Structure 1
């Protein structure tokens, strides 16, 4: 799951895409993701995008 998210950060990532990777319904995936990670999938993806942007900005400015 993390590899998929990292590979597709620059594109829209839909809940249904992540749920199908886990062979779950969107509802069940959302519940389980939030239970395991402590935040909803959208927040997780957004945080990863911000971290990636920060990494790219730091690598360009040095």
Structure 2
């Protein structure tokens, strides 16, 4: 039975576990803070205020953090 070596990496707030055969192919740079227009914010708020709609689902749809 062969033992598997697992390394743990902490990159941009995420923990990655890799076995000895995997390698980090690139370093991910932190993204800049996004700025949204007033119209976009209004659209998201209107969507979140609809009955029987979860805020998490709206955030996921618009690629936002809930």
Indicate the TM-score class for this superposition, using the shorter chain for normalisation. under 0.3
Larger Rg: 2
Q: Which has the higher strand share?
A: 2
Query: With structure 2 as the length reference, what TM-score do the two structures score?
Result: 0.26
Query: With structure 1 as the length reference, what TM-score do the two structures score?
Result: 0.28
Q: Which has the higher helix share?
A: 1
Q: Tell me: higher relative CO, structure 1 or 2? Use CA pairs within 8 A at least 6 residues apart.
A: 1
